[in-house]
Amino acid sequence: MDILPYHRRINYYETDKMGITHHSNYVRFMEEARVYFLEQIGWGFDKLEAMGYLSPVLSVSCKYKQSTVFNEEILISVKVGSIKGVKFTLVYEMTKAKSGHIILTGETEHCFIGPKGMPVRVKNEIPDFYNVLITLVDDKQS
């Protein structure tokens, strides 16, 4: 499956008094990229939430490599890091659209809370989704 990177620009309100994008916003950009990634693989948030699943973020980490400025175009690629038990991780790489320089590498860890309010094993509960995810596990990560 060919997954496209997520593309967006830095908004004015996302800059701070240092003149660069405030570091907290990248966590939001990662969410935007995650939404786009899940849609591309056919398992958008809307679909999962309609099925009664919520996917809270268990952990997030970002390593900031370069700053970005207002109106700068960035690309965010998302890959599956690992799927273990009730948890899975996604890994992110943000690059400058023009130069290709790396802005950030990041990772989020998730679980799925099922209709009964408990974490579920994706493998057992949503096997169709699991089967897509597992083919996307990035060998460099796991």
> Of the listed pieces 61-69, 86-94, 120-128, 133-141, which binds a second copy according to CB under 8 A?
61-69
CA distance 65 to 40: 27
**Which residues ranging from 27 to 56 are in contact with a second copy (CB under 8 A)?**
27-28, 31-32, 35, 44-46, 54, 56
Tell me the C-alpha distance between 138 and 110, whole Å.
16
Determine, following the binding rule CB under 8 A, whether residue 73 of this chain makes contact with a second copy. Answer: no
Q: Please identify, using beta-carbon distances, which residue of 58 and 120 lies nearer to a second copy.
A: 58
Q: Closest approach of Cβ 133 to a second copy, in Å? A: 19
Q: Does 101 bind a second copy (CB under 8 A)?
A: no
Contact set with a second copy (CB under 8 A): 11-13, 15-20, 22-25, 27-28, 31-32, 35, 44-46, 54, 56-64, 67, 69-71
